[in-house]
């Protein structure tokens, strides 16, 4: 069985909560029994005026070099844990079919994504606040653009930073507001440069 690390933010994690996490999240991890795999669960209470009793269960599963992340909120912590477990099961199944099975059963295809020229990187950022509020370090693993798209969906982010397996350069793939995906590549990775 996978070891599940449980922590609380603005909430004391009781034995009953631990038991519920180990039961429900542990059951969802059985969908995908692969080594190495580890799991972090953060239970937290978010205080805000619109919903003063919002409880959230955040599950992060590390499978080999991939991350699967889900989050669920409810007014009851136990319900939030149950919802997070269901989402974890779905995401791990998606991961298994889209990543693992795909690697074993098909040949890699060259995926081309239409690039849009960007004059200035600042054009891509909506400037709500000038304050840097979080700094995050990522391990870059070589992968195809298709694999990066899958990772973007699995972690539930709008973008994903990765090392392009073909060129060895850092790329960013992102969800576009009007649908589809976009990719940001260094200028030297254009058709003329490579």
64 closest CA partner among 151, 153, 168:
151
Q: How far apart are CA 191 and CA 114, in angstroms?
A: 12
The pLDDT of residue 127 is: 47
Domain boundaries 4-105, CATH class:
alpha beta
Query: Tens-digit pLDDT profile for the chain (194 aa)?
Result: 577 899 888 888 899 999 999 899 888 888 776 767 788 999 998 877 777 678 999 998 888 777 888 899 888 999 999 999 998 888 888 777 766 555 544 444 444 444 455 545 444 445 444 556 667 777 788 888 888 888 877 777 788 888 898 888 899 988 887 778 888 888 875 555 44
Which residue is it, tokens 């034995």? 15
DSSP string, 100-135: IHHHHHS------------S-GGGGS--S-------
Helical packing angle, 77-95 and 15-29, nearest 10° = 20
* pLDDT per residue as tens digits for the range 10-28: 888 899 999 999 899 888 8
Beta carbons within 10 angstroms of residue 169's beta carbon? 12
Which residue is it, tokens 């200035």? 120
Q: How far apart are CA 86 and CA 88, in angstroms?
A: 5
The pLDDT of residue 113 is: 44
The pLDDT of residue 43 is: 92
The pLDDT of residue 159 is: 84
Beta carbons within 10 angstroms of residue 53's beta carbon? 11
Query: In degrees, to the nearest 5, what angle opens at C-alpha 84 toward C-alphas 50 and 97?
Result: 135
* Residue-range domain boundaries for the chain: 4-105, 121-189
Domain boundaries 121-189, CATH class:
alpha beta
The pLDDT of residue 110 is: 44
Q: For residue 114, what are its two tokens?
A: 């239409």
Instruction: Give the largest Cα separation in the chain, rounded.
Output: 61
The pLDDT of residue 92 is: 82
Beta carbons within 10 angstroms of residue 15's beta carbon? 7
| Residue 95 contacts residue 68 (beta carbons within 8 Å) | yes
Per DSSP (E only), the strands in the chain are: 4-9, 37-46, 54-63, 66-74, 142-143, 159-164, 170-175, 181-184
Rg (CA), the chain: 19
| Residue 58 contacts residue 80 (beta carbons within 8 Å) | no
């Amino acid at each position: 069985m996978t070891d599940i690390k449980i922590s609380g933010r603005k909430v004391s994690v009781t034995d009953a909560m631990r038991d519920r996490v180990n039961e429900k999240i542990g059951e969802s991890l059985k969908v995908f029994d692969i080594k190495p795999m580890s799991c972090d669960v953060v239970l937290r209470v978010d205080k805000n005026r619109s919903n003063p009793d919002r409880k959230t269960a955040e599950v992060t599963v590390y499978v080999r070099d991939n991350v699967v992340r889900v989050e669920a909120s409810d007014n009851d912590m136990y319900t939030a844990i149950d919802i997070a477990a269901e989402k974890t099961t779905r995401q791990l199944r998606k991961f298994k079919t889209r990543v693992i099975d795909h690697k074993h059963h098909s040949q890699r295809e060259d995926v081309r994504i239409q690039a849009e020229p960007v004059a200035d990187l600042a054009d891509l950022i909506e400037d709500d606040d000038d304050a840097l509020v979080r700094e995050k370090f990522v391990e870059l693993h070589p992968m195809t653009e298709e694999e990066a798209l899958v990772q973007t969906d699995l972690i539930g982010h709008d973008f994903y930073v990765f090392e392009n397996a073909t060129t060895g350069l850092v790329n960013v793939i992102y969800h576009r507001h009007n649908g589809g995906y976009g990719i940001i590549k260094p200028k030297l990775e254009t058709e003329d440069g490579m």
